[in-house]
Amino acid sequence: MTTIHFYLRYRTTYGQTFFVSGNIPELGNGDPAQAKPIHYLNDELWHQSFDIPNDTPAFSYKYILRNSDGTESIEWPTDRVIDIKKLKSPEIQVLDYWNYAGEFENAFYTQPFRNTLMQYAGEKVKAGSARGFNHVFRVKAPLLAADETLCLLGSDPVLGAWDTSQCLVMRKEGNWYTIELNLAKAQFPIAYKYGVYNTASKSFVQYESGPNRMVYGMVKKQVVVMHDGFAGLPNSSFRAAGVAIPVFSLRTQAGLGVGEFADIKLLANWARQVGMRLIQLLPVNDTTANHSWTDSYPYAAISAFALHPMYINLEAVAGRKHAALLKGLDKKREKLNALPEVDYEAVMAEKWACLKKLYAACKEEWLASEDYTLKTIATGWNPMLRSVTCATNTRPPNSRPGKRTAPTTPKMLPNSLVQNPSPLML
């Protein structure tokens, strides 16, 4: 068995308690309802120890704060990982900072930033582990440049004795910048700080702000893992331009008087060409309630899941096989595209008429398909296509009686923009 001592740095108020939850049986199998309590140690720390089998695979864990009124706050993201086999010690001491899910820096660990908007530094840094290490330092810094990583400096010679030319370069593991050290011969207590290191020039850039961090000592045959939260670096360095636009305004020559889902790719290509990194769209959910212009209000959705049929590209649905069902559509397209504004009722009348014919021709084919989306369309469109209106005379908020068109659209985007999209869609 390996004994793991959990220490959480947090100054609580009266009535607050803490729990630890992890994806192993000893910590409740990831079920917050089965989280294990930890106990008040002093004004700065909460503590609890658990015996974990040596063959336990690497596991993640998080803390849960329960207030006196029963409300709970759960950390996010769950990115602390303990690998007993890698640490190879009968006792492991982990010292953690509480990570409030609403912390500003946590936004940069969401999928839009991780997968699209940012290139994280440090992944290519080759930094080995000290032989027989007994301390692991981990810290996060989401806004480093592509040629930057973190480094560690401290008062003891093992940590460079504050000589920036001797800083210890850290590597990136998941969300954490990490380094392992053997401090068996170090003089405690040790003051230390994280800094920024430029991997291109191989030079120290700057220290983090704030007071020195401290490590006060160690116990023989024990490994100490320091999860030091976020480095004290500016969190306002991210900059990105973008555009906010409703889909119905993405009118092209290929549309039917209105922007369509297929036109979002053209918008993304244009945004990429001009250096924009964000695209925000108005809601695209179905708003068909009255079968009149009042349904044009994009915030009056009748479903949280169904998308608006107005944005369907009819040619994409028909394909070559059913292209004959769209005979005569080109003349109507020319007329609707020539209008200075979207004529919502006219567009919907044409699209509904074509969609009914396509549905009648394709329903059985869609039902027989293994494509889940087609089956959903085939089973869900039948009630949609009935001429049923809601018994309501209410009009959308902020709309003006007598106004029969959607907002004015910008100039049409050129159809020559056909590259793959890369900006982030919001």
The CATH number assigned to the domain holding 48 equals 2.60.40.10
- Whether residues 215 and 283 share a domain: the answer is no
Cβ-based burial of 361 (10 A; exposed 0-12, middle 13-18, buried ≥19): middle
- Whether residues 408 and 265 share a domain: the answer is yes
Q: Smallest Cα–Cα separation from 178: which of 244, 117, 228? A: 228
Per-residue model confidence as pLDDT tens for the chain (426 residues): 999 999 999 999 999 999 999 999 999 999 999 999 999 999 999 999 999 999 999 999 999 999 999 999 999 999 999 999 999 999 999 999 999 999 999 999 998 888 888 765 555 666 656 678 999 999 999 999 888 999 999 999 999 999 999 999 999 998 999 999 999 999 999 999 999 999 999 999 999 999 999 999 877 889 999 999 999 999 888 888 999 999 999 999 989 999 999 999 999 999 999 989 899 999 999 999 998 999 999 999 998 888 999 999 999 999 999 999 999 899 999 999 999 999 999 999 999 999 999 999 988 888 887 775 655 655 555 545 443 333 333 333 333 333 333 333 333 333 333 334 456 655
Report the number of distinct structural domains present in the chain. Answer: 2
CB atoms within 10 A of CB 46: 25
- Whether residues 272 and 305 share a domain: the answer is yes
235: in domain: no
- Whether residues 319 and 291 share a domain: the answer is yes
d(CA 329, CA 325): 9
- Whether residues 115 and 140 share a domain: the answer is yes
- Whether residues 64 and 184 share a domain: the answer is yes
Structure tokens at 66: 């329960």
Give pTM, 2 decimals: 0.73
324: in domain: yes
- Whether residues 199 and 60 share a domain: the answer is yes
Q: Smallest Cα–Cα separation from 187: which of 213, 217, 211? A: 217
**Domain span holding position 99:** 2-230
Q: Smallest Cα–Cα separation from 255: which of 264, 242, 268, 245? A: 264
- Whether residues 224 and 282 share a domain: the answer is no
Final residue of a domain: which of 181, 197, 230? Answer: 230
How many residues appear in the chain? 426
236: in domain: no
Final residue of a domain: which of 191, 209, 230? Answer: 230
335: in domain: yes
Degrees (nearest 5) of the Cα angle 156, 157, 158?
A: 90
Q: Are 154 and 162 in contact (CB under 8 A)?
A: yes
d(CA 225, CA 180): 9
- Whether residues 250 and 309 share a domain: the answer is yes
306: in domain: yes
CA 60 from centroid of its chain's CA atoms: 19
- Residue the block writes with tokens 């330092």: 137
237: in domain: no
319: in domain: yes
Q: Smallest Cα–Cα separation from 263: which of 112, 414, 410? A: 414
Final residue of a domain: which of 230, 262, 291? Answer: 230
- Whether residues 272 and 224 share a domain: the answer is no
67: in domain: yes
d(CA 112, CA 33): 30
- Whether residues 164 and 50 share a domain: the answer is yes
Degrees (nearest 5) of the Cα angle 150, 156, 161?
A: 65
- Whether residues 190 and 252 share a domain: the answer is no
